[in-house]
Structure 1
Amino acid sequence: MSNSRQKIIYFEEGWNFVQKGIKKLQNNLEGLPGPSLTSVDHTLLYTTVFNMCTNKPPHDYSQELYIKYKETFEDYIKTTVLPSLKEKKDKVLLRELLKRWSNLKTMTYWISKYFSYLDRFHLPRRSLPSLEETSFLSFYHLAYDEMNRQVMDAIVSMMNRKSAGETVEETLINEILNLYSEIGERTRKNEPKQFAETLMMKANATSFMSRLQIG
């Protein structure tokens, strides 16, 4: 169907529909009661965004949708991710961080699919980060920067307890260091991987977790 015959979806109407679908996805990830997204839901969300991006100006809402995409992740991290991390300590904090990173990747996977037109056409023309990089950068700036000190303290504390002869969850530390490496790769930031490598050297220097490997 050509754009001239395509039904115009005005921004408020279209975004309200997409926002409801995203909220349903978030509720599913949080384990809240409610219906799961179906294959029909996924298709309708993709089609709505596509139509909102392919109408002629002034009804091409590509830039507005990119801003909303970014705001969606920023709001989710501020209102859901950070509060869940700030109220936890030690290994409970580390487990929660793994869960939150996993949820963010799932959320990014699906929402990026709905907004994939932006990745293919809108963002390259404006030299903007990809959708995936945009969401992971939001996590980096809002969650990683905020919680890094507490996470590092939790890891070092576990390493010190191990050195003192206590039994700790070495797999948990391995997973966190892998997470840090992945954050660095997905955001193209050096700090997370450097942190992981520094702790790895500390672990090796104290003969702690000699088989640990960072992916």
Structure 2
Amino acid sequence: MMMIKKVHRFSSEEYMRMYSIVFELCKPNRRGGNSEVLYDKYHNFLKHYITSKVSPSLQGKKDEALVKEIEQRWSNHKVMTRWITRFFRFLDRYFVPCRKLPPLEQSTLLAFYNLVFGEFNHEIKDAVLSLIDREREGEGIDQALIRNIVGIYVDVGQGSMKYYEQDFEGDMFKATASFYSTKASNWLKTESYKDYMLKVRI
């Protein structure tokens, strides 16, 4: 059974304290100096967290168990993203645009995608497509789970379908074609012409 941890909600005082620390560190040189150091440490922290906490939690998991773990980890990551990008908003106001870097929200979401999906995308796709095939066979599945996983490809694009199209859509079309090709072949062997035509039209 998955353990549900209580989410810590930062008070306005905690938020202001965190923001003020970042502000004081970056204020002397908004476009370099501590700002650059802090930006690098921010992304080093993300990489360490994902590779030491998220990726190990996925190792050895398959099929629906893998998909459920991804769903939970992505949900956690979005909550973390919402808060830490607020704490480091001062970087977004000056350092990031000056260096022509992607906004922190985008780079934080992409850190998860690049590190997690970069390693597990094949397994994730196979698990999702397997669930979709099971539904086509008449089995009840958690449709919200599928929507949430497919939604990750859309979320990281932030309005663009780039990641969905390059990392999921093509394989989904191939799997769909393969599924119905196999079905049609089996129907030809087992059904009358009339019944076959009815199934094909459906």
- TM-score, scaled relative to structure 2: 0.74
Contact 2:63 2:127 in 1 (8 A): yes
Aligned match of 2:112: 139
Shift of 1:83: 1.0
- Give CA deviations for 1:18-71 in whole Å, capped at 9, x if unaligned: xxxxxxxxxxxx8389x76433221111001101000259x9511010001111
Tell me which amino acid in the other structure corresponds to 1:150.
E
Q: Which of 87, 90, 96 is the equivalent residue of 1:117?
A: 90
Structure (1 or 2) with the larger CA radius of gyration: 2
Shift of 1:183: 2.2
Pair 1:191–1:38, CA change in 2 (3 A)? closer
- Give CA deviations for 1:100-151 in whole Å, capped at 9, x if unaligned: 1111111111111111111001111111121112212211221111110110
Aligned match of 1:190: 162
Contact 1:54 1:60 in 2 (8 A): no
Shift of 1:76: 1.0
Q: Secondary structure at the match of 1:177?
A: helix
Q: Which of 4, 15, 18 is the equivalent residue of 1:45?
A: 18
- Give CA deviations for 1:163-202 in whole Å, capped at 9, x if unaligned: 334332233212211222222337x682334444336546
Alignment of 1:21-100 (within 5 A): 31=5, 37-55=10-28, 60-100=33-73
Contact 2:129 2:172 in 1 (8 A): no
| Partner Cα separation in structure 2 for residue 119 and residue 168 of structure 1 | 41
- TM-score, scaled relative to structure 1: 0.70
Tell me whether 1:103 sits opposite 2:76 in the alignment: yes
| Partner Cα separation in structure 1 for residue 27 and residue 18 of structure 2 | 14
Q: How many residues matched? A: 175
Aligned match of 1:163: 136
- Out of 177-186 and 64-73, give the one that drifted further: 177-186
Tell me whether 1:149 sits opposite 2:128 in the alignment: no
Q: Secondary structure at the match of 1:52?
A: helix
Please tell me the root mean square deviation across aligned C-alpha atoms, in Å. Answer: 2.8
| Partner Cα separation in structure 2 for residue 146 and residue 50 of structure 1 | 35
Tell me which amino acid in the other structure corresponds to 2:75.
S
Shift of 1:152: 0.8
Contact 2:67 2:127 in 1 (8 A): yes
Alignment of 1:7-18 (within 5 A): none
Q: Which of 110, 126, 143 is the equivalent residue of 2:99?
A: 126
Contact 1:77 1:139 in 2 (8 A): yes
| Partner Cα separation in structure 2 for residue 174 and residue 198 of structure 1 | 17
Where structure 1 has 5 or more consecutive residues not aligned to the other structure, the ranges are: 1-29, 208-215
